[in-house]
């Protein structure tokens, strides 16, 4: 019989901002593994951002070990937390997660007070921010577009996510596009500003958002102070911000929608 590690088996018993955030992150970067051969049911979450895995472990009060996976070439290392727990596994099944979920997952029913935390968790796992820079008529650097993007293999999930954001964040646009590996839901500047307010206005704790995605949005408002509302200013004052440089961000891959959109004498900054 394997070693039993301590964990909070009651974590998903009730809706909280923490459980909604973790569920959203699991919908993005987590998976369920039912392994009869090992007589176990496992929850797996993996990311190149070790801090998210550490947050996940801390919130669940887990004693499980974070494993650094081997990678080849210049790829960033991935960190894996694998939790064997039948009760948590069955709770997540009840909340809509399934093994091999990528192409089939559906948007779950989330009580209204927790929708923002769930979507922020998903965004931190499978979303990105894209800031498209350009050159003005007089040669000065200008911001051409701000975009917030959600990625999934499931059209149904993205369609329901879009409807939820239209209802809760009052966005008006949102287009779903094909990429090489998946589908993406894109929101452009006006809607991205609304999404910033929706995603970050009620963050109760620094653990419940990814700093490096927040700061590129904050950078946009630093460079475009004319669009900063009182609500946005309140968020900035509470969460702070820092300058994001090209060295700290992921640039768009060749052939991606961001890359194609940025060819007109522009440099682009993307965090995913």
- Bridge-partner residues for 132, per DSSP? 145, 268
Region for residue 96 given its phi and psi (left: phi exceeds 0; alpha: psi -120 to 50; beta: otherwise): left
Burial class for 229, CB neighbours closer than 10 Å (0-12, 13-18, 19+): exposed
Report pLDDT for 38: 60
Report pLDDT for 2: 56
Distances (CA, A) of 143 to 49, 210, 265: 28, 23, 12
Q: How far apart are CA 116 and CA 217, in angstroms?
A: 17
Report pLDDT for 39: 67
Q: What is the pLDDT of residues 140-163, one digit of tens each?
A: 777 788 999 999 999 999 999 999
Report pLDDT for 171: 97
Q: How far apart are CA 99 and CA 104, in angstroms?
A: 10
Q: What is the pLDDT of residues 16-68, one digit of tens each?
A: 999 999 999 999 999 998 876 566 789 999 999 999 999 999 999 999 999 99
Report pLDDT for 74: 82
Average pLDDT, the chain: 85
Report pLDDT for 271: 54
Q: How far apart are CA 229 and CA 175, in angstroms?
A: 25
Other Cβ atoms within 10 Å of 156 Cβ, number: 13
Q: Please state the separation of Cα 46 from the chain's center in Å.
A: 13
Taking 3-state DSSP, the helix, strand and coil percentages for the chain, each rounded to the nearest 5, stand at 40, 20, 35
Q: In the structure, what pLDDT confidence band is assigned to residue 116 with cuts at 50, 70 and 90?
A: very high
Q: How far apart are CA 269 and CA 145, in angstroms?
A: 11
Report pLDDT for 149: 97
Residue with tokens 């709770």: 91
Q: What is the pLDDT of residues 186-202, one digit of tens each?
A: 999 999 999 999 999 98
Stretch (H or E) spanning 40: strand 40-47
Question: What domains does the chain contain, in order, with CATH numbers?
Answer: 17-101 (3.10.28.10), 118-271 (3.10.28.10)
Percent of all residues in the chain with a pLDDT value above 70, rounded to a whole number: 86
* DSSP state at residue 117: H
Report pLDDT for 272: 58
Q: State mean pLDDT over 85-93.
A: 94
Distances (CA, A) of 189 to 59, 128, 147, 167, 231: 33, 14, 6, 18, 17
């Amino acid at each position: 019989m394997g070693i039993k590690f301590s964990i909070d088996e009651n974590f998903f018993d009730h809706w909280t901002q923490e459980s909604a955030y973790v569920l959203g992150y699991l919908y993005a970067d987590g998976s369920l593994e039912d392994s009869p051969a090992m007589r176990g049911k496992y929850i797996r979450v993996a990311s190149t951002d070790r801090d998210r895995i550490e947050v996940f472990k801390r919130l669940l009060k887990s004693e499980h070990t974070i494993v650094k996976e081997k990678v080849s070439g210049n790829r960033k290392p991935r960190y894996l937390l694998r939790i064997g727990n039948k009760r948590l596994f069955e709770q997540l099944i009840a909340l809509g997660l399934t093994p091999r979920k990528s192409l089939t997952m559906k948007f779950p029913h989330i009580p209204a007070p927790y929708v923002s935390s769930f979507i922020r968790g998903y965004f931190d796992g499978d979303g990105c921010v894209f800031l498209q820079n350009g050159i003005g008529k007089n040669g000065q650097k200008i911001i051409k577009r701000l975009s917030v993007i959600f990625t999934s293999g499931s059209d149904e999930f993205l369609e329901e996510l879009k409807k939820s954001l239209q209802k809760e964040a009052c966005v008006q646009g949102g287009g779903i596009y094909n990429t090489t590996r998946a589908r993406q839901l894109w929101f452009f500047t006006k809607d991205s500003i609304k999404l910033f307010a929706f995603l970050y206005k009620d963050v109760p704790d620094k653990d419940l958002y990814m700093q490096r995605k927040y700061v590129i949005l904050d950078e946009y408002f630093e460079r475009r102070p004319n669009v900063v509302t009182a609500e946005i200013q309140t968020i900035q004052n509470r969460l702070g911000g820092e300058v994001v440089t090209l060295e700290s961000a992921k640039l768009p891959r060749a052939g991606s929608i961001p890359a194609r959109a940025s060819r007109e004498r522009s440099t682009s900054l993307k965090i995913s």
